[in-house]
Amino acid sequence: MLSPYLDGLGQLLAQTLADNEVVPGNTIWGEVQMIEWYRNLWQHMPESDANRLMFTKGLITSKRYGGTAHEQYSLNFRNFLESNFDVNDTLSRLSPLFYSEFGYENECTRAKKMLSGEKGKYKEWLINIDCSSSNKSIQPTAKAAAD
């Protein structure tokens, strides 16, 4: 699975470059296939947080740089996060970021409340996530959550 995983990372790099405005977002082609690639990796290795995070990051970056692939996956992913919430799970711990990015205010607020018992840098990161869809000036990164 090393080759498919590295292919996925290469695709995610292209999306990340668009997200960071190094390349224009409209130069990304095959975006749906990229998201499908991440989803397939997740299905073949469901225990791998890396593949799950790749999928999540792909959706978030798609939205941030103005892509369209996120549109056909975000609602199902929101439902997945809601029905599989576990305070010890990596995706659940990052779910407030996803909810915030996609304007799911109620879900964001609920997840932040459920995770509010955390301490340290993660708690600081969590506090900085703005759940209101009217203010997206704070863009917490996944890296900050991992620290």
Amino acid occupying residue 146: A
How high is the pLDDT of residue 140?
A: 44
3-state secondary structure of 128: coil
Question: Would the pLDDT of 144 be above 80?
Answer: no
pLDDT digits (tens, 9 = 90+) for 82-132: 999 999 999 999 999 999 999 999 999 999 999 999 889 999 999 999 999
The pLDDT, as a whole number, for residue 2 is: 86
Q: Give me the pLDDT at residue 142, please.
A: 43
pLDDT at 118: 84
Q: How far is CA 118 from the centre of its chain?
A: 20
What would the pLDDT profile of 34-64 be if each residue is shown by its tens digit? 999 999 999 999 999 999 999 999 999 999 9
**Sequence-distant (≥ 6) Cβ neighbours of residue 142 within 8 angstroms:** 53, 56, 57, 94, 97
Percentage of the chain with pLDDT > 90? Answer: 86
Is residue 80 very low, low, confident or very high in pLDDT (cuts 50, 70, 90)?
very high
